[in-house]
Amino acid sequence: MKAVAGEILSTKEGITSTGSGSDAVYIAYATIPDTDWTLCIASPVSMIIEPAVTIRENIDQNTERVAESVTNGVRTVIENCLVLFAVIILVVTISCGKLAKRISDPLQKLEQDVREISQGHFDQRTDVDTDDEIGNLAHSFNYMTESLQHYISDLKEATAKEERIASELSVATEIQASMLPNVFPAFPEHKEFDVYATMTPAKEVGGDFYDFFLIDEDHLALVMADVSGKGVPASLFMVIAKTLIKNRAQAGGSPAEILSYVNDQLCEGNDAELFVTVWLAILDLSTGKGVAANAGHEHPVIRRKDGDFELIVYKHSPAVAIMEGMQFADHEFELHPGDIVYVYTDGVPEATNADNELFGTDRLLEALNQNKTAQPNELLPEVKKAIDAFVGDAPQFDDITMLAFKFFGRS
């Protein structure tokens, strides 16, 4: 009390402490107004803080127990989560394995079956039958295989048919080619003339034809003709027309009379309504004088000795086999030694390039005059080269037939 008496007396009330260690005390004091005394209450510090220490110890113990409990709870939760996660992974793995096997097994089977099909075993069928997209795919492959079998069967049949037709057309081409004069020089014993002709059909067989034959030792017939239409029908009509013209010409008569007879014969039973344009000339080899009839055919071209090739334009008669009873007109001409006659079918001027331009008669005359000194067997190939260069890669739609006749006369 002595240590703090001065402090107590200097103030009316307050709390102070004195001592240290276990001797420390708290002193609470206040002045009594009526007596002016100061009341002091001394309490050992240990007594005051003992409940707090007890409470703190209790709190620390409770905190430790709670912390331990929380730790144990968290550990238990983590352990349970890990176990649950492992169970989930195990279940998912097993489920995925079963699902993968359910998907992969049909796919592997389908792959094996498709590999068999791809190797040409079109009788192979896949037995994958699941109620999902894989099953639908397997059914589609089975349908595809069946369709391929039918297609291959049809293709084999069609190919065999096409090969048979191609073989027959090849024979027909050979027959048609053998019917046209194709041995040159044609009459080596006759020095009065030289003749050369070519035909390039647009298809395997064509409707164009040419002919030249001796009616007797002094008269030569020249024929250039074009049957309407293409292919086998035109070629059959061509055979009949050629045979009729030659047989009737060798029986005698003018070109107009010959074509009148052929016209009436061809009109009989002409259900296909085909017709033929014909240029027919009969030349006297001893004099160079001739008579020609043009039944709707192209204008002939002539080159006089030391001159240029020129188109001979005159009025034509109708084509042959259009109508029975038709009359045809003759016209006379005369050749001199060194003259050349060039006749052709419409496949020459109507040859078309990729720009739909026609070769035309102007280009034809240009090609002829660039080689006007050439012999007949040299002239026609040069004209064909000019046509090919003009046409290029464009398809050929019409037969190209040409004949060149050069007259030398008799010495």
Q: Say what percent of the chain tops pLDDT 90.
A: 45
Residue 148 pLDDT greater than 80, yes or no: no
- Separation between Cα atoms, residue 317 and residue 336, nearest integer Å: 26
Best-predicted range by mean pLDDT (30-44, 68-82, 100-114, 282-296): 282-296
Nearest to 375 by CA among 328, 342, 411, 345: 342
Binning pLDDT at 50, 70 and 90, where does residue 124 land?
low
For 360-386, what is the mean pLDDT? 95
Q: Where are the beta strands (DSSP E) in 217-274?
A: 219-227
Candidate from 94-98, 198-202, 395-399, 407-411 with smallest mean pLDDT: 94-98
For position 167, what pLDDT does the model report?
Answer: 63
Best-predicted range by mean pLDDT (49-58, 83-92, 110-119, 340-349): 340-349
**pLDDT 10s digits, 165-185:** 666 656 666 666 678 898 899
Binning pLDDT at 50, 70 and 90, where does residue 211 land?
very high
For 341-370, what is the mean pLDDT? 95
Q: What 3-state DSSP class applies to 192?
A: coil
For 30-47, what is the mean pLDDT? 84
Q: What 3-state DSSP class applies to 148?
A: helix
| Domains and their CATH numbers in the chain | 2-48 (no CATH), 180-407 (3.60.40.10)
For position 52, what pLDDT does the model report?
Answer: 73
Candidate from 100-109, 250-259, 325-334, 357-366 with smallest mean pLDDT: 100-109
**Judging by beta carbons within 10 Å of its beta carbon (0-12, 13-18, 19+), is residue 376 exposed, middle or buried?**
buried
Residue 346 pLDDT greater than 60, yes or no: yes
Residue 228 pLDDT greater than 70, yes or no: yes
User: pLDDT averaged over the chain?
Assistant: 86
Candidate from 81-90, 185-194, 228-237 with smallest mean pLDDT: 228-237
- Separation between Cα atoms, residue 29 and residue 12, nearest integer Å: 8
For 255-279, what is the mean pLDDT? 93
For position 299, what pLDDT does the model report?
Answer: 96
